[in-house]
Structure 1
Amino acid sequence: MDKHKDFLDQPWDERDPDPWLALYLDQSTPLPDAVKAAWLRDCSSSSRQYLLPFLRPLARLSIIAIQILKVVLPKRWAHSRLLHKVLAFSMNTFVSPEANWLIMRHFHLGSHILAFVAANAPTPVKTAPIEPACIDDIQDELFLKHDLNLFNFVIRLNQALRAEGKELGPVAEPDFTMVTEPTLRLEDMPCGPLNKLDLQSAIEVYTPVYQLLLTDHDFWRASNSLQLDETLAIYCAKILATPEHLVMLNNKHPLVPLSTLRAGHRLVLHGLSTEMLHCLLMRMASGEQPVPAREIARMQRVVETVSGPVP
Structure 2
Amino acid sequence: MSHFLDAPHDPRDPNPWQALYLDQSTPLPEPVKRAWLTDSASPSRQYLLPLVRPLARLLIIVIQLCKIVLPKNWAASKLLHRILVWGLKGFVSPEANWLILRHFHLGAQIIEFVARNAPVEVPLSPLKPADIDALEDELFLKHDLNLFNFVIRLNQALQASDQTLAPVNPVDFSMISEPPLALADMPQGRLNGIDLQTAIEIFTPVYQLFLTDNDFWRAANSLQLDETMGVYAATILNTPQHLLLLNNKHPLVPLSTLRAGHRLVLHGLSTEMLHCLLSRLRAEQELAQAGEQG
TM-score tier, shorter chain, comes to over 0.9
Structure 2 match to 1:125: 122
Q: Distance between the aligned counterparts of 2:139 and 2:102, measured in 1?
A: 13
Structure 1 match to 2:231: 234
Deviations 1:1-41 (A, max 9, x none): xx5x6443222112111010010011111000100000001
TM-score (norm 1): 0.90
Q: Which amino acid aligns with 1:250?
A: N
Q: Distance between the aligned counterparts of 1:136 and 1:25, measured in 2?
A: 35
Residue 121 of structure 1 aligns to a residue whose secondary structure is coil
Q: Which amino acid aligns with 1:57?
A: P
Alpha-carbon offset, residue 244 of structure 1? 1.8
The equivalent position to 2:105 in structure 1, one of 105, 108, 115, is 108
Q: 1:248 and 2:233 equivalent?
A: no
Q: Which amino acid aligns with 2:156?
A: Q
Deviations 1:206-258 (A, max 9, x none): 00000000001000000000010000000001100011223421111100000
Alpha-carbon offset, residue 125 of structure 1? 1.0
Deviations 1:74-121 (A, max 9, x none): 001000000000000000000000000011100000000000000000
Residue 52 of structure 1 aligns to a residue whose secondary structure is helix
The equivalent position to 1:198 in structure 2, one of 195, 199, 208, is 195
Q: Paired residues, what number?
A: 285
Q: Among all aligned residue pairs of Structure 1 and Structure 2, give the percentage whose two residues are the same amino acid.
A: 68
Structure 2 match to 1:149: 146
TM-score (norm 2): 0.95
Structure 2 match to 1:47: 44
Structure 2 match to 1:83: 80
Deviations 1:110-152 (A, max 9, x none): 0000000000000111111100000000000000000000000
Q: Distance between the aligned counterparts of 2:41 and 2:4, measured in 1?
A: 12
Structure 1 match to 2:68: 71
Q: Distance between the aligned counterparts of 2:117 and 2:4, measured in 1?
A: 38
Q: Distance between the aligned counterparts of 1:32 and 1:265, measured in 2?
A: 22
Residue 8 of structure 1 aligns to a residue whose secondary structure is coil
Structure 1 match to 2:291: none
Q: Which amino acid aligns with 1:190?
A: P
Residue 116 of structure 1 aligns to a residue whose secondary structure is helix
Q: Distance between the aligned counterparts of 1:12 and 1:63, measured in 2?
A: 42
Contact 1:88 1:138 (C-alpha < 8 Å) held by counterparts: yes
Deviations 1:153-183 (A, max 9, x none): 0000000000000000000100001010011
Q: How do 1:1-311 and structure 2 match up within 5 A? A: 6-287=3-284
Q: Which moved more, 1:166-175 or 1:237-246?
A: 237-246
Q: Which amino acid aligns with 2:193?
A: K
Q: Distance between the aligned counterparts of 1:190 and 1:245, measured in 2?
A: 34
Contact 1:246 1:277 (C-alpha < 8 Å) held by counterparts: no
Alpha-carbon offset, residue 203 of structure 1? 0.2
Q: Which amino acid aligns with 1:163?
A: A
Q: Distance between the aligned counterparts of 1:37 and 1:61, measured in 2?
A: 32
Residue 286 of structure 1 aligns to a residue whose secondary structure is helix
User: Where does structure 1 differ by over 6 angstroms across 4 or more consecutive aligned residues?
Assistant: none
Gaps of 5+ in 1: 289-311
Q: Distance between the aligned counterparts of 1:13 and 1:248, measured in 2?
A: 30
Q: Distance between the aligned counterparts of 1:50 and 1:233, measured in 2?
A: 34
Q: Distance between the aligned counterparts of 1:46 and 1:243, measured in 2?
A: 38
